[in-house]
Structure 1
Amino acid sequence: MHIAWLGKKSPFCGNVTYSREITNALLDRGYRVTFLHFAQPQEAEEEAHPESAEVPLPFLFKSQILTIPSLKSRKLLTNALRRLKPDIVHASLTLSPLDFRLPEICAELGLPLVATFHPAFDRKVRSITSGTQHLTYQLYAPCLANYDRVIVFSDLQRDLLNKLGVPDDRLVVIPNGVDTQRYAPGPSAAKVELGAERLFVYQGRLSPEKNVESLLKGWRQAEMGPTCKLAIMGSGPLENSLKLFYDDDNILWLGYVSDVQRRIDLLRGADGFILPSFVEGLSLSLLEAMACGTACVATDAGADGEVLSNGAGIVLDPQRVAVQLQTILPLLRDHPEIAQLLGRKARERVVSRYTLSANLSALEQLYGVVASRSPVALGL
């Protein structure tokens, strides 16, 4: 089966990781995959699969959140799909105007169309950020109803789109998955490298919806001591201002860590992983930390609270992160046996529910159903 995958390869965000992991796994399973993405033709791509084919699409603006295609993009995309004649078009939606034109393009070409809908959300509208994300869902709902199938990551996300008018038979819940062979407990040199007796890690964008400032406030107020380190992996629009106000010796600003094995080493060595977001979808960073056997603390945003429920981690109120961390961080520092227990339970939860292998098997089944009902498959 030939999959035309429309997604992102830069700048780094969860959508980029999702597209890379899924397309590489599909290639490893013997599928033919052509990756269509917004890029300049001369851009060199990192971590490309040796068997992948790519089609660059021109753009005017590209960020972690929004992509604005050039005026030629729609015609180039249509011509590419007409030439490729894939069995399935799978769009890992990029928050781009082209997302709204894809159903029309694929209907014209007689191609079945699947989407993965990524935008973060909160089950309650508790802040301006979560309210803005809810507006994104309202904006997209009429368009999503025109896709053959829309993949979402949780029952909560499906229920929200149902309420906004997307038919239930168009929605398929396939949670994010992580490679539990690659992301697994193991030896780590991170603490020695960073000079830490206790190490805590955040991994993600440094942007308003991630609520990192509340984590930093909680860390400072917990008075963790000079031998405890907080490693911040990530970059974003708030990076410079946060560094300016939180220039503490025990806060380590690592920036975006591109080396996957180094990220794994940091997660393996951590006594705790903290994700303080106001809104989320289903965080791949959280699943990666859990798979590495790290004790995880995350807010009840998106599906993250569901992932950590019933003892797989500690769930925070997004509005009370700093206050709650004042108690939780010293507890994990002073009682490593608690951190170890939470890490084992986190690993068990990922292995039982959130593996990349199970994700791919569910996706393969969906592709089979959608392709069998397409006009091409039916000879129409």
Structure 2
Amino acid sequence: MVQIAWLGKKSPFCGNVSYGLSTTQALRERGHQTHFIHFDNPRSPESGSTSLLANDPDVSLPYLVKSQVYTIPSPGAQRELRDSLERIRPDIVHASLTLSPLDFRLPDLCQQLGVPLVATFHPPFDAGMRNLTAGTQQLSYQLYAPALARYDRVIVFSQLQAEVLIRLGVPADRLAVIPNGVDTDRWAPSRHGGDAVLLQRVRQRLGSERTFLYMGRLATEKNVEALLRAWRLVSPQGCRLVIVGDGPLRGTLQNSFNESGILWWGYEADLNTRIALMQCAEVFLLPSLVEGLSLALLEAMATGTACIATDAGADGEVLEGGAGIVLSSQGVATQLRTLLPVLRDQPVLTAELGRRARQRALERYRLSRNIDAIEQLYGTLLATRPLAA
């Protein structure tokens, strides 16, 4: 079994957090010893871990600023990280990159310690560079490419993402395409089981109308305003749009689109409630301008929800061939104005799309497949690791 030092995020909630928690839990269930190193000031009220206990599998590093997008560590964080790695003595360091200055220092640190270094690179992208947001994200890729070239392996979620990094100078042999995975036993249609009482409670709050759902960050790159504009123009009778999530645009959007056909659920911390929301939804909508590979999309697919997403990042690739409806990231509101009435009038279509989405998730995006690939990657790196003198 492998001893892993995992660098990632536990808060605030985002796709990076979901990826890190689900992956490390799955690795632990397979017998690997995983130490989770994350930014969480040890003396803050939210902290439940400390770097002072020798047998503590979690290590907290101090920070100055932490958001869903980036983290600025405290001046002493690098020293604490090094001390922690020297104490843990892992076989592998795996960094689920948090867009932090420490990301650029890890290659030197791990080389000095003689430990193989793996990264998972999450930032969203749009290979077509079709909007200003995509151009801004491209700068992140340009900034990171020289550092990523010095990692032993970089996990990306699709071949499209790999091609972007190769064009920026990251050697192809350093890249490993391992799509996100989802626990398809837990994220499953309600008929497969679950908490019936919780499901009923969520249904009561949603009401009797058919549920169209967005779940994710409320930020510019998610393009939720386009969805809201289209919904206001169509106002599909008998349907309700539910917005689950938080972010910098929540206040502005909620003030501008606070009509009866839209339910602002807010941030939902409880995993089982998020699963119940997906199970209650008939249609999941993801209007993003840029993406990586959306975990929320995979979760919706696994629960058998009809999925509508843009072709940003790898999301179009996930739904291609009939597993969902793929929109262009350009002109989302116009496309949705045409599509929403069809979805309203064709419940047989949404049921079939949900069935196909579930099947696609089972075939390609099970969490177990993801963990198999990560274990194989670890094995390859450890097999080629130079023996200690």
**Alignment TM class, shorter chain as reference:** over 0.9
Structure 2 counterpart SS, 1:319: coil
Q: Is the 8 A contact 1:271 1:332 kept in 2?
A: no
* Structure 1 runs not aligned, ≥5 long: none
Structure 2 counterpart SS, 1:318: coil
Mapped to 1, the partners of 2:69 and 2:208 lie a distance apart of 34
Following superposition, the deviation at residue 262 of structure 1 comes to 1.1
Following superposition, the deviation at residue 45 of structure 1 comes to 6.1
Amino acid in the other structure paired with 1:217: R
Matched, 1:205 2:205: no
Matched, 1:113 2:117: yes
Map of 1:122-201 to 2, 5 A cutoff? Answer: 122-187=126-191, 188-189=199-200, 190-201=202-213
Mapped to 1, the partners of 2:75 and 2:47 lie a distance apart of 24
Map of 1:288-303 to 2, 5 A cutoff? Answer: 288-303=299-314
Match of 2:289 in 1: 278
Following superposition, the deviation at residue 194 of structure 1 comes to 1.4
Match of 2:298 in 1: 287
Mapped to 2, the partners of 1:80 and 1:223 lie a distance apart of 55
Runs of 4+ deviating beyond 6 Å: none
Mapped to 2, the partners of 1:234 and 1:45 lie a distance apart of 23
Mapped to 2, the partners of 1:310 and 1:110 lie a distance apart of 45
Mapped to 1, the partners of 2:214 and 2:114 lie a distance apart of 44
Amino acid in the other structure paired with 1:39: D
Matched, 1:242 2:253: yes
Map of 1:317-356 to 2, 5 A cutoff? Answer: 317-356=328-367
Q: Is the 8 A contact 2:40 2:47 kept in 1?
A: no
Following superposition, the deviation at residue 196 of structure 1 comes to 3.1
Following superposition, the deviation at residue 317 of structure 1 comes to 1.2
2:324 to 313, 318, 328: 313
Show CA shifts across 1:129-185 (max 9, x none). 100101110110000000000000000000111111100110000000000000011
Q: Is the 8 A contact 1:191 1:197 kept in 2?
A: no
Match of 2:39 in 1: 38
Match of 2:15 in 1: 14
Amino acid in the other structure paired with 2:42: P
Matched, 1:260 2:271: yes
Structure 1 counterpart SS, 2:190: coil
Amino acid in the other structure paired with 1:7: G
Q: Is the 8 A contact 2:215 2:245 kept in 1?
A: yes
Q: Is the 8 A contact 2:41 2:47 kept in 1?
A: no
Match of 2:24 in 1: 23
Q: How many residues align?
A: 373
Matched, 1:95 2:67: no
Mapped to 2, the partners of 1:197 and 1:250 lie a distance apart of 9
Amino acid in the other structure paired with 2:36: F
- Tell me the TM-score normalized by structure 2: 0.94
Show CA shifts across 1:182-208 (max 9, x none). 001115534443113211000000000
Mapped to 1, the partners of 2:99 and 2:385 lie a distance apart of 26
Following superposition, the deviation at residue 331 of structure 1 comes to 1.3
Q: Is the 8 A contact 2:38 2:61 kept in 1?
A: yes
Structure 2 counterpart SS, 1:165: coil
Following superposition, the deviation at residue 128 of structure 1 comes to 1.0
Amino acid in the other structure paired with 2:61: L
Mapped to 2, the partners of 1:213 and 1:350 lie a distance apart of 28
Q: Is the 8 A contact 2:292 2:314 kept in 1?
A: yes
Mapped to 2, the partners of 1:52 and 1:73 lie a distance apart of 18
- Tell me the TM-score normalized by structure 1: 0.96
Mapped to 1, the partners of 2:280 and 2:345 lie a distance apart of 16
Following superposition, the deviation at residue 379 of structure 1 comes to 2.3
Match of 2:52 in 1: none
Amino acid in the other structure paired with 2:65: F
Q: Is the 8 A contact 2:157 2:179 kept in 1?
A: yes
Following superposition, the deviation at residue 223 of structure 1 comes to 1.8
Amino acid in the other structure paired with 1:145: A
Amino acid in the other structure paired with 2:324: G
Mapped to 1, the partners of 2:385 and 2:35 lie a distance apart of 19
Identity across the alignment (%): 58
Match of 1:379 in 2: 388
Q: Is the 8 A contact 1:191 1:198 kept in 2?
A: no
Q: What's the C-alpha RMSD, in Å, of the aligned pairs?
A: 1.3
* Structure 2 runs not aligned, ≥5 long: 49-54, 192-198
Show CA shifts across 1:335-376 (max 9, x none). 11000000010011110001100000000000011122223x
